[in-house]
Amino acid sequence: MFFVKGVKTARVTQQRVIYKTLRGNELKDKKRTETALKAGEDRAILLGLGMVFSSVMMYFVICITMVRAYAESVLTDETTCTVLNSTLTKDINCSYNCGSDCWRSSKFPCLQVYVSLNATGRIGLLSHNEEMLDISSECFYVPKCQKDHTALHVMIQNISEHLRMHQQVTCYHDSNEHQGSILLNRLYGSSTLFHSLFWPSCMLSGGTLIILMVKLTQYLSILCEQIGRTPK
C-alpha cells in the first residue's frame, strides 16, 4: 500500500513538474510574441508618423510656391486667341556659364507675338507662361542662353512658324483688364494644382490610417485580455 501511494505521489509530482515546464514555456512564448508585436507596432506607428510629417512638409512647400502663385495670378480666364503677327525683332544679349567663374555673352532674337481675343477683340502681346512674362514682357519666349546663338535663332524661328500655322490657340487673360498681358500656358493651373496636392493627400491619409489601425489593434487586444480575465 505504501508502495502504491509512493508511486501515485511521484506521478503527481511528475505531472506538476511537466505542467510548470509547459506553463513556463507558454509564458515565455507569449512574452516573446508580445515583444515582437510591440516592436512591429512601434515601427508601424513610426512609419505612419513619418508619412504624416512628410505630407505636411510637402503641403507647406506647395502652399508657399504653387498655391500662392495660383491665388495671386489674375490671368485665369480661358478663351481662344487668333494669332495676328509673329515676328522676330531685335536681338537680346544674354550670358552663359562657361566654367568656374567664367561667363561669356551671346544673344537670341526676341519673338513678339500679337494675338486678338476672340471674346472681346482686344489685341495684346502673347507670352508663353508666367515665368517668361516675369523675365520679359515683350518677348514670347526667352530660351536658356548658350554659346551657339545660331541654334537659338533656329529654335525661336521654329516657334514662330508653329504659331503662324496654328493661328487659333487657347490663351488666358484678365477679364477685368487690370493686366494687359496674355498667356499661352499657365504654369500653375487648376489641373496642375490638383495633381500636386493629390499625392501628399494620399500620403497623409495612408499615414493616418496606419496609426489608427495600430491603435485599434492595441485597443482590441487589451479588451480581449480583460474579457479573458473576467471570472465566469
pLDDT score for 209: 93
Instruction: Flag whether 128 is in a domain.
Output: yes
Predicted confidence at residue 3, as pLDDT, reads 45
Q: pLDDT at position 16, please?
A: 60
Give domain status of residue 224, yes or no.
no
CA separation for the pair 79, 74 (Å, rounded): 14
Checking 172-179 for CB contacts under 8 A at 24+ apart, the result is 172/75, 172/76, 172/77, 172/78, 172/79, 173/75, 173/77, 173/79, 173/117, 173/122, 173/124, 174/74, 174/75, 174/76, 174/77, 175/77, 176/74, 177/122, 178/74, 179/74, 179/75
227 belongs to a structural domain: no
Query: pLDDT digit string (tens) for 15-45?
Result: 565 555 555 555 555 555 555 457 677 888 8
Between 130 and 39, name the one with better pLDDT: 130
Q: Does residue 216 form part of some domain?
A: no
pLDDT (0 to 100) of residue 208 = 92
Q: What is the mean pLDDT of residues 203-230?
A: 83
Q: Is residue 4 in some structural domain?
A: no
Count of structural domains within the chain: 1
**At 133, is the pLDDT very low, low, confident or very high (cuts 50, 70, 90)?**
confident
More confident residue, 104 or 213: 213
In which domain, by residue range, is 180 found?
Answer: 9-210
**Residue 53 clears pLDDT 90, i.e. is over it:** yes
The whole model's pTM is what? Answer: 0.60
What would the pLDDT profile of 152-178 be if each residue is shown by its tens digit? 888 989 988 888 888 888 888 887 766
Q: In the predicted model, what is the mean pLDDT of the chain?
A: 79
75-87: average pLDDT? 85
Closest CA to 115 of 146, 84, 93: 84
- pLDDT higher than 90, residue 78: no
- Report, as an integer, the average pLDDT of 73-98: 84
Residue 36 lies in a domain: yes
Percent of the chain predicted with pLDDT > 90: 8
pLDDT at 4: 47
Kindly state the cell numbers that stand for 231: 471570472
**Residue at 66 is within a domain:** yes
